[in-house]
Amino acid sequence: VFLITMAEVQKEENELVKPPMLTSVALRETTNQMEGGEWTHPLPIGCRASIKWRDGKHHMAEIIEKRQDEGAWSYYVHYVEFNRRLDEWTAGTNVDMTDVQKPNKKGPATDLTSSTDSTPGRKLTRNLKRRYDEINHVQKEEDEAKSALEKEHEEITKVKNIDVIELGRYEIDTWYFSPYPEEFSNTPKLYLCEFCLKYMKKRKTLCRHKTKCDLRHPPGNEIYRKDSLSVFEVDGKKNKIYCQNLCLLAKLFLDHKTLYYDVEPFLFYIMCDCDSHGCHMVGYFSKEKDSPDDYNLACILTLPPYQRKGYGKLLIAFSYELSKKEGKVGSPEKPLSDLGLLSFRSYWTRVLLEILRQHQGNLSIKDISTMTAIKTEDIIATLQSLNLIKYWKGQHIISVTPKVIEDHLKTSSRQPTLIDPEFLHWVPYQMDTKVKK
């Protein structure tokens, strides 16, 4: 069974920029006892309590939902110091009833402050706010509509509807809600065919399906094969059901993915580890067939059992090899997930450091972009994070010595396995421009 531990998640999240947590002083402003007595079940939604996790340690969590089964209460909780991927149902017996904090009915403060004001925290007057909105072309109606949609999405997806999936030889704990049809939701375990991704509620149904399913690899064209590594290109229009199933599977591990059924405008690149039993999916990325913003990647996922093995960087490297074939520079669609951002930063850092180490003589950012197919904005941001670039007389200047490069390479991730262009057999997608007569 593949499980993710609190320690692993904490290590990942220490590398991310996180919003400030509530201070211990603020938390103590709420009482951990009901007026006139101890807390008893059921606890109210919105309160916080110390919850015993699988590692035997207690962690502060917020109660999102509750249910009663045969007289026993259980709670769906969000651990306040960790990503939503660890949200789960837990038995009431895991709650420390001596450490419960009342829900904050007032809610978070909503004072509007100007991020551009020279006085920190200064409130905007009505006139100042209107002028600020006019200057910055703030579309109030669009913002309100977007905010309403985000709240609706958060409400719908706040509780995971599937706990575990069985995919090939792995049982995988899910991270997030995914909009599978209602009859397949709210089930502790979902069974998936690892080749066609059809989903079933019972193991015996999966066993029957295996005798009939003749797929041993993703549909579509195999465009890359070297040793046991293979990549298939799948057209969302030609293989609609497969791609929809893929998106539903991906949503179990991606918090903000919203595309599930409108797959026709996309191409999907499925990376597989192949053996005598077939080609087993390790991850995938998608890209628009026609991206006006030159995005070379729309969505990326490495399945949890294959994470921390270099497949994420391989998927990223593959997306840039396709961009080179197209003769374009590319960039991933924003915003990236937290793990996606970490993978891209790591990939960009390693590629740029290797370029700077190997190149002799003058080298411009545009030259690097042409060599790597990485967009100039991503190059500049990465070099700035490494303090290897300066802004002088209206232009960015790369300022680096061989020793500085070697020092950075020592602290960066190990040299990733690269995609070999000789084994890539692919022609860029051509949009149908024929006009009906």
DSSP SS3 for 338:
helix
> Which of 333, 354, 377, 422 does the annotation list as catalytic?
333
Name the average pLDDT for the chain.
Answer: 83
Residue 89 sits in a domain of what CATH number? 2.30.30.140
Shared domain for 91 and 132, answered yes or no, is: no
Shared domain for 131 and 86, answered yes or no, is: no
Range of the domain at 54: 29-101
pLDDT of residue 115: 36
133-188 tens-digit pLDDT: 544 555 556 666 666 766 776 777 889 999 999 999 999 999 999 999 999 987 88
Q: Is 308 among the domain residues?
A: no
383/155: higher pLDDT:
383
pLDDT of residue 10: 53
318-331 tens-digit pLDDT: 999 999 999 999 99
192-233 tens-digit pLDDT: 999 999 999 999 999 999 999 999 999 999 999 999 999 999
Q: Is 362 among the domain residues?
A: no
Provide the whole-model pTM: 0.78
pLDDT of residue 255: 85
Section 243-249 average pLDDT? 97
pLDDT of residue 34: 59
Could you tell me what percentage of the chain is helix, strand and coil, using 3-state DSSP and rounding each to the nearest 5?
35, 25, 40
Shared domain for 78 and 38, answered yes or no, is: yes
Catalytic residue list contains 183: no
How many domains does the chain fold into?
2
